[in-house]
Structure 1
Amino acid sequence: MSRRCELTGKAVLVGHKVSHSNHKTKRTFRPNLVRVSLISEALGQSVRLRVSANALRSVEHRGGLDAFLTKASETDLSQGARELKRKIAKAGAETGSEQQAAS
């Protein structure tokens, strides 16, 4: 399992640990990944994802998983998140057509 956020694409970065004497040593900066269950309102089910704490804040800020995925670009998302985005878009299109038929 890679150390990559499934929603934002945040991954491990490499840099230097710099001591007081300015001696540089290689180190890694790992994203704060958390396994969470997020609820998709369009699908009516919960989805388990491995996301960074920063992405979790972004999901809440945008108004939930569905709103976040509709605005997110395909290049940042993992394969599973891309499929989830397509399912949500399809479910949203179906409910939109049902609402038009009812009125």
Structure 2
Amino acid sequence: MSRRCDLTGKGVLSGNLVSHSNRKTKRRFLPNLCNVTLESETLKRSVRLRVSANALKSVDHRGGLDAFLKKARDEELSPVALELKRQIAKAVLKAEAAPAA
């Protein structure tokens, strides 16, 4: 399993660990990933995702998973999140078409 956020696409970065004597050795900066269950109001079900703590704050700030995915660009989403975004868009179109009929 890759160390990449399902929502923001944030992944592992590399850099140098610099000692007091200024020696440099390679190190990895890992994202703060959390396994969370988020509720989708449009789909009326919960979804398990592996997201960074920063993305979790962004989801909360934008008003939930549906609002976050609606505003997010397709390039920065994982295949799982992209499929969720498509399902939500499909459910919204279906809900709008049903009362008109």
Counterparts of 2:98 and 2:22, CA distance in 1: 65
Equivalent residue number for residue 98 of structure 1: 98
Counterparts of 2:91 and 2:46, CA distance in 1: 15
Counterparts of 1:29 and 1:40, CA distance in 2: 31
Task: Using structure 2 for the length normalisation, give the TM-score.
Answer: 0.96
Tell me the secondary structure at the aligned position of residue 83 of structure 2.
Answer: helix
Equivalent residue number for residue 75 of structure 2: 75
- The alignment covers a number of residue pairs equal to 101
Counterparts of 1:65 and 1:40, CA distance in 2: 6
Counterparts of 1:92 and 1:66, CA distance in 2: 10
Show structure 1 runs of 5+ residues with no match: none
- CA displacement at 1:97 relative to structure 2: 2.1
Equivalent residue number for residue 51 of structure 2: 51
1:19 aligns with 2:51: no
1:41-100 alpha-carbon deviations (Å, 9 max, x no partner) = 00000000000000000000000000000010111111111000000001111112234x
Show structure 2 runs of 5+ residues with no match: none
Q: Report the AA paired with residue 89 of structure 2.
A: A
Counterparts of 1:83 and 1:72, CA distance in 2: 13
Q: Report the AA paired with residue 48 of structure 1.
A: R
CA RMSD of aligned residues (A): 1.0
Equivalent residue number for residue 39 of structure 2: 39
